Amino acid sequence: MKNKIIENIKTIFYALFIALIIRSLLFQPFYIPSSSMEPNLLVGDRLFVSKYTYGYSRHSLPFSPNIFDGRVFSKKLFRGDIIVFKTPADNRTDYIKRLIGLPGDTIQIINEELYINNKIVSKKLIESNLEINCGQESFKANLFRETLPNGTKHNSVYRMVGAMKNTDKYTVPKNKYFFMGDNRDCSKDSRFLSSVGYVSNDNIIGKARVIFFSTDKKQGSIFKFWKLNKIVRWDRMFNKIK
């Protein structure tokens, strides 16, 4: 009996150790709690983030232990990537946004147009009068297909009425990055210097890769199995994140 208990403990220990290695070095699951990345990521999406894509920092490990500085096996970040990072304000909260500005870049919004290094970012109108969420509310938005300077294309939305028209010019410091939500008028991101601001290279956790599960909270709890077909967004499962 004693040997069986010891073997069970060993099995649990090994399972936890393997899970820790996978979570720290390979993939970590994340949940989308806000609408700042609509229409590309929705509240209720569960996704996998690759930890190895940009190398590792202390934030790659659970609880961010202060055991080393900088990054190991550091790799280049690409403009347009959707990235999870720790907010500079507390180094604890996980945010997910799109990388817009690299070190040395200037970023500015002028008359509702995004400029990178004083050049306007090309955008093509895809759809008007689109219903987009913002917390518990919603608003009508224009959906655009934006093309970043490196050729990366992605969808973004701007309010049809009351969009952010102008900002200061932001100059991204060395070893830091500028992030924005795709839901441009419902996102606390690097435009808000006091709460998010520029994100250090050390705060990068990983790249969002794939949605593995998604539920619509407005339809009720997943435990209401008789409504499962409405609650689970089957069409979003295993979608690659772009």
Q: Which residues are catalytic?
A: 36, 97
Structure-token pair, residue 2: 């004693």
Residue 198 burial (10 A CB sphere; 0-12, 13-18, 19+): buried
Distance CA 222, CA 213 (A): 12
The CA-atom distances, in angstroms, between 48 and each of 22, 161, 237 are 11, 34, 12
Structure-token pair, residue 185: 């008028």
CA 42 to chain centre: 11
List CB contacts of 3: < 8 A, sequence separation 6 or more. none
Structure-token pair, residue 3: 């040997």
Cβ 155 vs Cβ 40: under 8 Å: yes
Q: What angle do CA 81, 172, 148 make, to 5 degrees?
A: 40
Structure-token pair, residue 33: 């709690």
Q: What is the DSSP letter of 52?
A: S
